[in-house]
C-alpha cells in the first residue's frame, strides 16, 4: 500500500514515511482496495479488505448524490 501510494499519490517524503510507520505499527500485512466508478467517473463503491496483527478487516462504502 505504501509503495503504491509513493508511486501514485501526492504525499511528500515525510508523509509517506509516516504512512509506512502507521501500517507497520498496525501490523498490516495485506490490503486490497476495490473501487467501482460510474459512467461519470465518480466513485460508486469502495471495498477494502486486509489482514493485520489483530486479525482480518473489511470495510465497504457506498457513494451517492455527488455534486448535487
More confident residue, 48 or 2: 48
Output the CA angle 1-30-46, nearest 5 degrees. Answer: 65
Residue 46 in any domain: the answer is yes
Give the pLDDT confidence score for residue 3 in this predicted structure.
58
Mean of the pLDDT values across residues 29-55? 91
Indicate the number of domains in the chain. Answer: 1
Supply the range of the domain harboring residue 26.
Answer: 2-62
Residue 9 lies in a domain: yes
Would 68 be classed as within a structural domain? Answer: no
> Is the Cβ–Cβ distance between 28 and 51 less than 8 Å?
yes
67, part of any domain: no
Positions of E strands within the chain: 30-37, 43-52, 55-62
Confidence of residue 19 (pLDDT cuts 50, 70, 90): confident
In Å, what is the CA distance from 41 to each residue of 33, 35, 36, 66? Answer: 17, 11, 9, 11
> At residue 6, does pLDDT exceed 60?
no
**What average pLDDT does the structure give for the chain?**
85
**Residue among 52, 49, 51 nearest 60 (CA):** 49
Q: Is the pLDDT of residue 13 over 90?
A: no
Amino acid at each position: 500500500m505504501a509503495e503504491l501510494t509513493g508511486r501514485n499519490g501526492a504525499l511528500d517524503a515525510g508523509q509517506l514515511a509516516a504512512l509506512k510507520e502507521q501500517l507497520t505499527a498496525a501490523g498490516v500485512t495485506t490490503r486490497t482496495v476495490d473501487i467501482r466508478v460510474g459512467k461519470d467517473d465518480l466513485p460508486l463503491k469502495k471495498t477494502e479488505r486486509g489482514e493485520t496483527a489483530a486479525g482480518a478487516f473489511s470495510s465497504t462504502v457506498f457513494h451517492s448524490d455527488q455534486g448535487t
